Amino acid sequence: MKHSMKLNPIAFDMIQAGTQTFETRVYDAKRQLVNLNDQIEFSKLPDLTEKLTVKVVGLSRANTFTELFKFLNPVLGGWQETDGVDKVLQNLRRFYTEEEEKRYGVLAIHLMK
């Protein structure tokens, strides 16, 4: 199955370069459809004209982002080595509310170009 998702320019470029190996999302209805070996076509924000297709090679679920980053290295998710969990959470709150996190749980989608 092929899925479509939007990505901010920094994450898009890092996935394209191979330095970001997973993408973090809430485990909502759209992400519940993602399975191993599926493809994701990322569209680069803001104009969505640049595309990148990747293969799903792993899925890691957790109840919260904090729990997720206890067993996944945030650097592989696109954050800096110096970013603590609080900074990572602050960044994720730009996209997902605490209520969404609690309602759906979270997912790391492991990717391969």
Determine which of 22-31, 57-66, 85-94 has the lowest per-residue pLDDT on average: 85-94
Q: What is the count of structural domains for the chain?
A: 1
Rounded to an integer, the average pLDDT of 96-104 is 96
Distance CA 14, CA 10 (A): 6
- Residue 49 neighbours by CB distance under 10 Å: 7
| pTM of the predicted model over 0.85 | yes
CATH code of the domain covering residue 95: 2.30.130.30
Checking DSSP bridges between strand 39-44 and strand 51-62, what pairing results, if any? antiparallel
At which residue do the structure tokens 């999302």 appear?
25
Q: What range defines the domain where residue 74 resides? A: 2-112
